[in-house]
Chains A and B, each alone.
Chain A
Amino acid sequence: MRPWLLMLVVCGSAGLAAQAGGPQVTPQDLADGLKDPGKWLTYGGDYNGHRYSPLTQITPQNVSQLAAQWTFQTGTLGSFQTTPIVIDGVIYATGFNNNAWAIDARSGRVIWRYRRNLPEEMHLCCGAVNRGFGVLGDKLFMATIDAHLVSLDMKTGGVLWDVELADYKVGYSATVAPLVVKDKVIVGIAGAEFGIRGFIDAYDAQTGKRAWRFYTVASPDDPVGGKSWPPNSDAYSRGGGSIWVTGTYDPQQNRLYFGTGNPGPDYYSSAREGDNLYTASVVSLDADTGQRAWHYQFTPHDVHDWDSTQVPVLGELPINGQTRKVLMFANRNGFFYTLDRDTGKVIVAKPFVETTWAKEIGPDGRPQLLPGHLPDEDGTKTCPDLGGGTNFMSPSYDPNLHLFFVTARETCATYFAFEQKFRPGEQWESGGTSRPRDQKNFGALRAIDPITATIKWEFRYPSVSASGVLSTAAGIVFAGDGDGNVMAFESRSGRNLWHYQLGSSMRSTAGTTYMLDGRQYLLVPAGSTLTAFALPRP
C-alpha cells in the first residue's frame, strides 16, 4: 500500500504545481507592456511598438561599465533575428530554421530545445530566419519557414498544435513574430518574391483554429482596393503584399496596425497597372474581425521592392496645441511619416535619407514622383537602394523626449526590370539591382522629431546596418552598427557612451532589457549568439 500512497501524494503535489508553479501570461500582462520589470512579453516590448523600457539601473553615467555575463551559442548555422521573450528568469528565443530554445537567464544554459523537421526544398528569398515567439498562458507561438503556425508548451518545448498557414511549395513562408491580442494569435505570410497573395491571419490561441483572414492584396470585388489592379486580370492573385514584421495594437480602438510588403513582381510592373492596394501600405484592422478600418499607401505602384514592413509605432503627440493620437512610420522608401491614427491621413512626411524618386508627399498624401525612376532593361539609378532608407530593423520611440530612433541607410542602386514568366514556386522578381560604380553606402543611427519629421541628431557608421534600436527611461539608446558593435548612446544628444564587439552584426532587433535578481540585463542576439550584459555586482 505504501508505494501507492506515495504516488498519490506525488500526483497531488504535481497537480498543485501546475496551478501555481509557473507563469501564466494573461492578455492584461500583454497590454501592460513593460510595466513588470522582470518581463519582456511581445516583439516591440509593448503593443505600441516603442521598444522603450522604463528601467533606469543602467544610466548614461554607468553604462560604460556594462560587461558580458554569459554567451549562448546556438551551435547551428544561420543568424538570429529574434526578439527574445523573457518571463520568470527564463529566456525564450527562436533561431534559424525554426530552432528554438528556453534558456536560463542567470547562466545562459539551455533548459529545452525545439527542432523542426523542415522539408528539403523550400522557396525562400532571404534565408530561414525567424523574428521571435508570441506568448499567452503557458503557450508559445512561432510562425515557421514552411508556412505553419506552431504552439509550443512553455515548460517543455513540446508541440501543442501545428497548423498550415499556406502552401510552402509554391513560395509561401513565415518569419514574423506572432502578435497575441486577447485570445488570438495574429500572424502574416511572406513570399512576395514568388508571386504569392499576402494575408494577415488570426488564430484561436487554444486550438489553432483560424478566426479571420485579411488579404493584403485586394480582390476585384473589393469596393476600395479592387480597382487598383488591372481589370479582367488575375494579377492580384500573385500580387505580393507580404507580412514579415510584427505590427502593433491599440487596445482602446481595438485596432491592429500592420505594414504590408511590396507588390509582385517586384520591378517589372506593366502587368499590374494601378496603385496595387493594399501593398506597400499600413492597414488598420479590427482585432476581432480583421475588417479594414483604413489604409494609407506609402508607395502606390511600388517598383523598387520597398516593402512597408516596418513597425508602425503608436504614440500621442502635442501638435498645434492639441494631443493627437498618431502613427509614426520610418519607411523603406526613405520618407518618415506621422499619420493621424483615427483616419490614416498624413500629418507630416519628410525624407530622412537621400531620396531621388519623389519630390515630396503632396497634400493628397501621395508622393509627387520625379521622372526617370521606372526600372527598365537599361537600368535607372534611384536612391535609396532596394534595402531602403530603413527596413525590417525595429525603431524605438522615447515618449518623454518625443524622439523616434531609427537605423538609417544612405544608399543608391541601379534598378533593372524585364518581363519574366510566372511559374509557381519560382522566384519572380522580374528584375534586380546593382550598386552604381563608386557608390559609397553608409549607415547611421538617427533621432527624428516626429512632430516636424526633422532629424535632431545622427551617429554615422562606416557601413550600412540592419540593427534594431532599444531605448530606456534612463536616457540611453542601444543600437548596432553593420560591423558587429553593440553600442549605447545618450538619447538627447546621440553621444556614444559604450560599445562592445559581438563578432557579428545585430539584425532586426536590438535586444531586450529586464530585471533579474535586482540587476538590469541587456540581452543581445547577434549572429548565432545571445550575450547578456549587466553592470558589475555591487
Chain B
Amino acid sequence: MLVAASVALGAQQPPVPNPAKNNPHLGNRESIRSGMTMYRVRCADCHGLDAKGYRGPDLTALLAGEMTDEKLFNTIRKGVPGTDMPASQASDDELLLTIAYLRNLTSTPTEPVSGNVENGARVFAAQCASCHRIGSRGGRIGPELTRIGTARSRSALIREIRTPSEWVAPGFETVTLVTKDGQRIRGTKKNEDVFSIQVMDQRERIQGYIKADLKDVIYEKESLMPVFTGERLNDRDLTDVVGYLTSLRGGDRASQ
C-alpha cells in the first residue's frame, strides 16, 4: 500500500517544465526592449549597463559559455547563495523577457583563467589571508572569498584590490569608536541603529556598543583594506592573484 501510494503521489506531480525551455520572447523586438528595461532596473547595478560586469560577473561571457537559458532562468529565480545575487520575486514572464534581452546581446567568449594560479595562491596566503577567509582558513575582518570567482568579474577584482575604498561592501565599512575613557576601537561596522552600533574590531572581536556610552563614533571613508599599489603588488602578482580568485567557485562549501 505504501509503495502504491507513493507511486500514485509521484504520478500526480510531474516535474514542472522550466519556463525558459520555450521562451516566446526570444528574437521578438518588443520583448527585447521590455527585457532591456527590466535588465536595467534589476540587474545593471551589479552586472553593468552593458552586461559586461561591474561588481557582478560579465554576463556576455557567461552566455557565450555553457550557460543554457534554463540554467540562467534558475539562477535568476533562486539567486546564488553566498554571493550578492538575490533570488528574484519577479514573474516568470519578466524573467523570460530579461533572458530574451540578454540573448540578443553580442556575447563575448569567457575570459580564460589567466595568470599563474599557484603563484596567485602563494601571494594570497602572504598578502590577503590574514583578513580574508577561503573555506575554513584565513581571517575574518574582510569578506569571505570562498566563491568569489562566481561573484566578481576580473575587472571588479582588480579595481577592488587597487582601489579598495572606491566601494566598500555593506558590513565592512570602517568605523572608530572612542570610549568615554579615550580608548579607540577600530573595526568594521556590522550593523547600526540610532542608539547602538555593532562592530568587528581588528582582533576579530564582535561586539555591540551603546552610542550614549561612547564619546564618539567616527565613520571613515577609507576601507580597512590597504591600497595595493604597484609597489606593494606588482602587475604580474596581481594577474596571478586575480587568476587564483577567479578560480574560487565553491571550494569547501560546494563539496559539503
A-B contact pairs, 18 of them (CB 8 A): A377-B37, A379-B40, A417-B37, A418-B33, A418-B37, A420-B34, A431-B41, A434-B41, A434-B44, A434-B45, A462-B192, A462-B194, A481-B193, A484-B193, A485-B193, A485-B195, A501-B193, A501-B195
Among B30, B37, B192, the residue within 8 A (CB) of A416 is B37
User: Closest residue of chain A to B30, judged by CB?
Assistant: A419
User: Closest residue of chain B to A460, judged by CB?
Assistant: B194
Interface size on A, residues (CB 8 A): 27
Residues of A that sit less than 8 Å from B by CB: 377-379, 416-421, 426-427, 431-435, 437, 461-462, 481, 483-485, 487, 496, 499, 501
User: Closest residue of chain A to B40, judged by CB?
Assistant: A416
Q: Please state if B37 and A437 are interface contacts (CB–CB under 8 Å).
A: no
Minimum C-beta distance from B52 to chain A (A): 16
Contacts of A378 in B (CB 8 A): 40
Among A432, A433, A485, the residue within 8 A (CB) of B194 is A485
Contacts of A426 in B (CB 8 A): 91, 93
Interface size on B, residues (CB 8 A): 19
Most buried by A among B33, B37, B42, B93: B37
B113 located at the interface, meaning its Cβ lies under 8 Å from any Cβ of chain A in the complex: no
- Known A432-B38, A432-B41, A433-B41; contact A427-B193, beta-carbon cutoff 8 A: no
B100 located at the interface, meaning its Cβ lies under 8 Å from any Cβ of chain A in the complex: no
Among B40, B94, B194, the residue within 8 A (CB) of A461 is B194
- Known A427-B91, A462-B194; contact A377-B38, beta-carbon cutoff 8 A: no
Tell me the complex Cα distance, A416–B33, Å: 12
Residues of B that sit less than 8 Å from A by CB: 30, 33-34, 36-38, 40-42, 44-45, 91, 93-94, 192-196
- Known A379-B40, A434-B45; contact A419-B34, beta-carbon cutoff 8 A: yes
Q: Please state if A416 and B41 are interface contacts (CB–CB under 8 Å).
A: yes
Known contacts A416-B40, A420-B34, A434-B41; 20 additional CB pairs below 8 A are: A377-B40, A379-B40, A418-B34, A418-B36, A419-B30, A431-B37, A432-B41, A432-B42, A433-B41, A434-B42, A437-B45, A461-B194, A462-B192, A462-B194, A481-B194, A483-B192, A483-B193, A485-B194, A496-B194, A499-B195
Contacts of B45 in A (CB 8 A): 434-435, 437
Contacts of B196 in A (CB 8 A): 501
Contacts of B41 in A (CB 8 A): 416, 431-434
Tell me the complex Cα distance, A138–B118, Å: 77
Minimum C-beta distance from B176 to chain A (A): 17
